[in-house]
């Protein structure tokens, strides 16, 4: 009995020492990580690009060395959770990307004009996303932010005012994200009406859903608006989606 108690005590002691070593090691490493964060990030950039260089031959770069030929002009939020790899194709030379907080046209009109008037992309994709911090800020008090941030969030007031979202905060947040996309689409439909009428441009509004708010799968890009059309049934019947299977159309076209 006595022996067992001693060995149990020994075991507990060893466990405590082990825990102490483990916790002090993880504390030290997290501290080191914080201290060397920029260096670690630079390593990530340089090493990552080094792998990219070795993975691609000269032939990969030849088609676009003298000019770019994107097929999509995309305006999306700067949010790091939204990236072009969600489309699962190599975005190089395919997407002309413009980003700002809240995927707002008015902040980047010149860049979007460039994609439409100079690069002649047939699609202008306005991609909002769930849990957008810019929309959340516009729904809250953001007076403590810098003047530059305040100025950019101020421009979201009109889309949110027109949305008239109802329900609890998270419901209104999602509704406002979608309404902001609608607002930006309407702005572009007016701005590029001549090209749209000629069939040379289609403005698509969509929401990237990484929380499965629309219940169509985590990471789904939900199409919510085409050329200002917001009726789900009409969007699904649009000839613009004729190359997409009925099943997939029923999955991706939706509105809350
Ligand atoms: Zn955002």
On whether both 124 and 205 belong to a single domain, the answer is: yes
Ligand 1 centroid from CA 79, angstroms: 5
On whether both 45 and 134 belong to a single domain, the answer is: no
Ligand 1 centroid from CA 40, angstroms: 26
Q: What local confidence, expressed as pLDDT, does residue 34 receive?
A: 54
On whether both 83 and 44 belong to a single domain, the answer is: no
Ligand 1 centroid from CA 116, angstroms: 23
Q: What local confidence, expressed as pLDDT, does residue 165 receive?
A: 87
What average pLDDT does this structure show over 176-205?
98
pLDDT at 225 over 60: yes
Per-residue pLDDT band at 13 (split at 50, 70, 90) = very low
Name the average pLDDT for the chain.
90
Ligand 1 centroid from CA 44, angstroms: 24
Domain presence at residue 61: no
On whether both 202 and 234 belong to a single domain, the answer is: yes
Per-residue pLDDT band at 21 (split at 50, 70, 90) = very low
Distance, C-alpha 144 to centroid of its chain: 25
Per-residue pLDDT band at 35 (split at 50, 70, 90) = low
Domain presence at residue 8: yes
Domain presence at residue 60: no
What average pLDDT does this structure show over 114-142?
98
Ligand 1 centroid from CA 51, angstroms: 30
Task: Record the tokens describing residue 149, joined without a space.
Answer: 């941030």
On whether both 224 and 174 belong to a single domain, the answer is: yes
Q: 87-112, pLDDT tens digit by residue?
A: 999 999 999 999 999 999 999 999 99
Ligand 1 centroid from CA 77, angstroms: 5
pLDDT at 79 over 70: yes
CATH number at residue 114: 3.40.1050.10
Domain presence at residue 63: no
On whether both 170 and 218 belong to a single domain, the answer is: yes
On whether both 222 and 116 belong to a single domain, the answer is: yes
Domain presence at residue 21: yes
Domain presence at residue 202: yes
Q: What local confidence, expressed as pLDDT, does residue 31 receive?
A: 53
Instruction: State which residues form the domain around 40.
Output: 1-55
**Number of domains present in the structure of the chain:** 2
What average pLDDT does this structure show over 231-244?
98
On whether both 134 and 169 belong to a single domain, the answer is: yes
pLDDT at 27 over 80: no
Ligand 1 centroid from CA 137, angstroms: 10
Ligand 1 centroid from CA 20, angstroms: 41
CA distance 213 to 193: 32
Residues by chain with Cβ below 5 Å of ion ligand 1: 77, 79, 132, 134
CA distance 134 to 101: 6
pLDDT at 189 over 70: yes
On whether both 182 and 151 belong to a single domain, the answer is: yes
Ligand 1 centroid from CA 142, angstroms: 15
Domain presence at residue 62: no
pTM: 0.85
């Amino acid at each position: 009995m006595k022996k067992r108690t001693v060995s149990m005590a020994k075991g507990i002691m060893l466990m405590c020492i082990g825990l102490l070593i483990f916790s002090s090691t993880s504390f030290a490493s997290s501290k080191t990580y914080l201290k060397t964060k920029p260096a670690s990030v630079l390593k990530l950039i340089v090493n990552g690009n080094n792998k990219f260089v070795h993975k691609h031959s000269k032939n990969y770069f030849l088609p676009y060395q003298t000019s770019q030929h994107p097929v999509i002009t995309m305006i999306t939020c700067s949010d790091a959770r939204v990236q072009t790899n969600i489309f699962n194709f190599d975005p190089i030379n395919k997407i002309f990307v413009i980003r700002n907080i809240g995927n707002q046209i008015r902040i980047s009109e010149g860049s979007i004009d460039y994609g439409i008037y100079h690069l002649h992309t047939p699609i202008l994709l306005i991609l909002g996303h769930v849990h957008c911090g810019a929309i959340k800020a516009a729904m809250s008090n953001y007076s403590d932010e810098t003047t530059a941030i305040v100025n950019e969030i101020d421009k979201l007031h009109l889309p949110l005012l027109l949305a008239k979202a109802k329900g609890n905060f998270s419901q209104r947040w999602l509704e406002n994200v979608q309404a902001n996309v609608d607002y930006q689409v309407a702005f572009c439909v007016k701005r590029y009406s001549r090209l749209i009428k000629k069939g040379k441009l289609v403005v698509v509004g969509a929401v990237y859903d990484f929380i499965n708010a629309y219940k169509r799968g985590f990471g789904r890009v939900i199409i919510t608006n085409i050329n200002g059309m917001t009726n789900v049934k009409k969007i699904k019947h649009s000839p613009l989606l004729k190359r997409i299977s009925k099943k997939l159309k029923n999955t991706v076209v939706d509105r809350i």
